[in-house]
Amino acid sequence: MFENEQTKIINVHTSVTNTKDKHNKMVILFLNSSPHIIYPHFPYDINNLGRRLRLRLCKHSVNMTMNPTMAKQEQLILLDYWTSIYGMRVKIALAEKGLSYEYKEEDLRNKSQLLLDSNPIHKQIPVLIHNGKPICESSIIVEYIDEVWNHKAPLFPSDNYAKARAKFWADFIDKKLYQIGMNLYTTKGEKHETSRKEFMDCLKLLEGELGDKPYFGGESFGYLDVSLIPFYSWFQAYETYGNFNFDHECPKLIAWAKRCIQNKESVSNSLPALPKIFGFVQYMRKKYGVEE
């Protein structure tokens, strides 16, 4: 089942200290086929577990904790709403890691008790519930996913400076882009005009950060790509109501977005089609009284 492993049967009467292998490496105990990491402290009363226990003693503990077979045993629930840029980030990160999860669509006008209990501070989606423990705020969730399931598709660069830089730009996106983008389809007059300018300034800055790289993360898709690409599903709405021509005004950014959609199934499967979001925005405009 695992690579680099030895399998060993030990007797229940083996003392707790002997459940570690002689090299003091990580030990995994299978109970009803669920893996439980028992190194460094064995959390069960070993004498109550039946006659024999199957223990798999790993030579390489790192490989064990990262094994996707284990990841499948985790319980993951995503509380979300289909138009949410923030929720899309989480879906992409989960897909990058090959994790399956239960999707629960929230009615944001009538929030579920699970959402209220899971995010009592902001009462917002997305929330990822991992083995009963809620994690809130999309950037924090994506980082959590990357740290817990670090067996594949690392989202952060290993270089600390590059990592700090990716976080800086993701924070910039969170603080600026969403609200300004919303102003494009909910406001009129001077506020709309200011938002148009601010929105394009943001895109230009982001395009500068991308430079000639295929992805923000360099050669591979990473954290900043995950943060920004969901906005692409809203681009038809931004373009129409902001009166932009993105192909003309920020061609590198559009080429990057198309590259993400074409090359990354995690993205194409997580983003709703542009016309669907456009339809939603038309509905929102009527609701905000911007459109008759």
The DSSP secondary structure of 146-167, one letter per residue, reads HHHTTTS---S-SSHHHHHHHH
Closer Cβ to ligand GS8, 30 or 81, answer by number: 81
Q: Which of 39, 42, 86, 246 binds ligand GS8 (CB under 6 A)?
A: 86
Are 56 and 5 in contact by the 8 Å Cβ rule? The answer is yes
Q: Could you tell me the CA-to-CA distances from 101 to 93, 116, 195, 227 in Å, in that order?
A: 12, 20, 37, 20
C-alpha neighbours within 13 Å on the C-beta side of residue 117:
6
Closer Cβ to ligand GS8, 12 or 108, answer by number: 108
Q: Count the helix, strand and coil residues of the chain and give each as a percent rounded to the nearest 5.
A: 50, 15, 35
Phi, psi of 219 (to 5 degrees): -75, -25
3-class DSSP assignment, residue 11: strand
Closer Cβ to ligand GS8, 125 or 260, answer by number: 125
Q: How far is the CB of 146 from ligand GS8 (least distance, A)?
A: 15
**Binding flag, residue 284, ligand GS8 (CB under 6 A):** no
Closer Cβ to ligand GS8, 55 or 173, answer by number: 173
How far apart are alpha carbons 170 and 186 in whole angstroms? 24
Closer Cβ to ligand GS8, 139 or 186, answer by number: 139
Q: How far is the CB of 113 from ligand GS8 (least distance, A)?
A: 15
Q: How far is the CB of 267 from ligand GS8 (least distance, A)?
A: 18
Q: Which of 19, 61, 84, 186 binds ligand GS8 (CB under 6 A)?
A: 84
Q: How far is the CB of 158 from ligand GS8 (least distance, A)?
A: 25
Closer Cβ to ligand GS8, 137 or 249, answer by number: 137
Q: How many residues touch ligand GS8 (CB under 6 A)?
A: 11
Sign of CA dihedral 122, 124, 125, 131: positive
Closer Cβ to ligand GS8, 96 or 143, answer by number: 143
How far apart are alpha carbons 272 and 29 in whole angstroms? 41
DSSP state of 108: T
Residues 133-172 that bind ligand GS8 (CB under 6 A): 137-139
**Binding flag, residue 81, ligand GS8 (CB under 6 A):** yes
Region from 9-17, 24-32, 81-89, 248-256 binding ligand GS8, contact rule CB under 6 A: 81-89
**Binding flag, residue 116, ligand GS8 (CB under 6 A):** no
Are 127 and 76 in contact by the 8 Å Cβ rule? The answer is no
The residue whose Cβ lies closest to ligand GS8 is 124
Per-residue buried b or exposed e for 253-287, using 16+ beta carbons within 10 Å of the residue's own CB: bbebbebbeeebebbeebbbeeeebbeebbebbee
Residues 176-195 that bind ligand GS8 (CB under 6 A): none
**Binding flag, residue 126, ligand GS8 (CB under 6 A):** yes
| Interacting residue ranges for ligand GS8, rule: CB under 6 A | 81, 84, 86, 108, 123-126, 137-139
